[in-house]
Chains A and B, each alone.
Chain A
Amino acid sequence: MTAPTDWLAIDWILAAIGGWIAIGAAGVLRPHNFYIVARVLFPLGAALCLLVAVAAAAALFAGTETAVLPLGLPGLPFHLRLDALSAFFLMLLGTASAGISVFAAGYFRKGEGTPPGVLCLLYHLFLAGMAMVLLADDAYVFMVMWELMALASFFLVTANHTIPAIRRAGYLYLLIAHVGALAILLAFGVLQADTGDYTFDNMRAQALSPFWASVAFLLAFFGFGAKAGFLPLHVWLPEAHPAAPSPVSALMSGVMLKTAIYGLLRVGFEILPTQYAWWGVLALAVGLVTALFGVVFAAIQTDMKRLLAYSSIENIGLLAVGIGLALLFTGYGMPSLAALSLTAVLYHALNHAFFKSLLFLGTGAVLHATGERNLGKLGGLLRHMPWVGWLALVGALAAAGLPPLNGFVSEWLLLQSFLFTLGLPGTFINNLVPVVAAGVALVAALGGYVMVKFFGIIFLGQPREPRLASSHDAARWERVGLVWLAVGCVALGLLPAQVIALIDPVTRVLVGEGIGPQVASQGWLFLAPVSAERASYSPLLFLLLVAASFALSFVLVRRLYHGRLRRAAPWDCGFPLLNARMQDTAEGFGQPIRQVFEPFFRIDRQLPSPFDRQPSYRMEAGDHLWHWLYLPVARASDGVSRLVGRLQQGRISTYLMYSFVTLLVMLLLVFR
């Protein structure tokens, strides 16, 4: 690499990654110097994030760039490749993590578990790992970086490791991540088809038989699903995300999960030459179940970060549904429709990165202001922390999929792509698709429920604890980060045509088609993915009209009547002893959902009896899968190891007997 003038985008990105590692090293040199870490290193990292984003955006249209680093195994150096797909996800990484890093600059405080310098190292290693995963072009560097990412995030999750629950969460997380990684490794092993060459180029060149192709896809689906949190591999997610410090939760939920989606797209569409429709059916089913499960569990959570984690599961499920649709379409040879649903997937990935990070950071600010994660002890914070509150409102509306914000656009595109399934052959699929569409609609609506609960319980109403009244608003750095992400949510929501122009090259890489030109032909204002007659949506106009009638009614009312206003105590229905504790609780808000979706939960309830001295009420809604899948597996392996343990029973004669028998058996082998 010579003078920066003729650097390619990939060089800039690699430079940024190197910069991150350097920053991390610098942090470790002064592990306890809080000022340098927070005020210098993290902002620097954020700047590098922006650099990555810009370079990636430039690379989107620049065509494929490759590089080979002199690292790695002999005969298998690090192959790197920056095509539109990588570039898009790198852009996602850069833009989202820029905001998160700035927030983190203000977030990490002194004396919380791991010293700030070490956190800084792990944080930037995490970023570097994710970026390298997106660049990887051979199995070895991919696996190395994939595991590095898992490792760094594991240590970040257990940053506050004195709490046993957090340690358990980290353990569960790393274990499932590792199992998934093994599956991915196997998938690559199948993909290289006995050639022994583990570069992705070689894998692309292989023509696998349908059976082996399907095996590879299933392994990849399992492996990446473990990282993304598809059912039934989701159990780590609601444990790990709340356990981590909020910027890390944001990074994991907003960006890391997307690397799994990236891997699935990379393997499923780009490396595997042909797709089969039944893969799509699988992805649709898994995705729908995951989404529904996630949102229903989110609705009954009482811990704000767990709630967001489950909502991440929901969104991942929606992404899986979109991927499933795309697989169906490609399986039946309709690339243009596949492009539509893939656009929805990528768009939603981008949106989720923004609004989920925003919300997680919001919870972080709340956590710092109140030291409280339990929804039942929060409330009324909009008055005390207006910045966080209003910005979180933007995030919540976006997450609820309401127009004109970004969450709605991608859900709109997803639903649109469902409308074309009529052309698909096969009765079974024709029965399945409407059901899935209905499921998606239901999930979207429930998402609204969840977000109303989230925002309403935390920020609205009366403070449920007196000390909340003293909670302070977010500091300068944190505000900047939050604003950045909120602006992103709005911009992504208002300018769909422009965003799709960015996504177009990606879908071309994946399925060879794109809806960019069609969208562009409708002008910048309207979003019409297929044709203006079929469907069109213009968030700007939408916003404009609502705002206009808002303003008009406001002005008219003032003009024709008056604007007098009187403050008074809320009406107490004639019951004078009303206090903040009498507000509806988080449990209460979730109760209808618990009622309606009873079979989803494994509920153990502890009701007070009339004779209790201190009557107490406890309700836990557990996860069936934990008891149906994980515990049995654990028991099985424990049983096996108990059997194996019998071998080692201490008597030397027995040991000699083992050797003797082994010898005789082998002699017999020779003898025959």
Chain B
Amino acid sequence: MRITRNAVAGTAATVGMTLALAACSSSAGTEASGSAAADGGDAVETVKMCALVSDVTSSEALAFRDYYTDYIASEFPVEFVYSDELTDAEAEKTAMEGFIANNCQAVISFASADRPTQLDMAEDAGIYYAVATGALSAEEYETFKDYEYYVGAIGPDAMTEFQAGYDMAQYFIGEGDTSFGIFGGGIPYYLEMHINRAAGMLTALAEDGTTSYGGATEMGDILGKIYADGTIKIQDFESDVYELTGYLETWDFDAAWQASMAEMIAADPDAILAVGTGNAILGSAVDGTDIQIGDIDAYTEDNLVAMENGTLGFLAGKFTSINGPIFAATLSAVQGEPYRTEDGSAFALSQGYWTATSAEEFQEIVDADNVESPVYDVDTLSPFVATGATYDEFADFVGKYTFADLVG
């Protein structure tokens, strides 16, 4: 007799039976709660919303999270469940499975490794799904816009990202700067957001007649070249006016990376244009030089300090409560009133960044919008949660996102 194998078989059988029994006995119950959620109606019932997040460490992500879990959850009948950091499509799927098993009624997704799979899973499970601070590609939108449980997307689309990069470069050009370094972040990983922003920067520089990147001057061509190279090649940058003195990408922090960074800083450009997390990565390195950083990030205390001491010259950033409207739309959907466009599709709305170029502007933004008193507060959002508001009214509401619109 072989004890271990018998034990394996025995344990396996026991475990299997236990699980099977548990599975059968509870499936009836969940069926019921699932349909209750779908029916909605009862506004007092706490809605379980789950957030898929690919980034749990940046201060931007933490601020977004605090806005939901501290502010929104105390003002609306919702509870939030956050995923762990999701580094890839597999992790996203695993987290989705957990959400579905644990009866989440809606998923707000900040994770973009594999949106189609997330959408399919949500649709199959019959739970609402919304995209925050992002957008589906045109192709994806066509595929999924008719999904019953797809709420929609609010966030910077490709054009907005491009514009942010463009605006940044334009700002420094306006300041009279002529020599630039570029921090390309996740370009070699084909992070589309970063590629779009970098393309925006180069396109802005290329508006000068003598300037071109790899012979290209138009947004589409520049974008194409970056995609083809998977990087930015400073030797392909030609200009009589501007100078591209250095380029750095990724966050490796190893010797080679550090040497490249030191080289970029040693070239002493007027400004370093960062596609993202510029101050976090380069802030301490440029400390003590005249180099200014242009960054696309969040309104955090660290960035405020950097802007005060002159390291940070330009910041485009999402404000803390930027995810208010997508929450309102999702809750509205769970409670039985999803917003649909005229042809019945899920919505795809764009929101851009707020920009600050001085500590004063920065302070105004922070004062106007924070977790304690967000611009999208309960009074602003409530009219759009299952109140019979139309899609057009909602779209209009989302469209007015600038600092001027919201704060005045």
Asked if A and B bind, the verdict is no
Interface residues, chain A, CB within 8 Å of chain B?
Answer: none
Interface residues, chain B, CB within 8 Å of chain A?
Answer: none
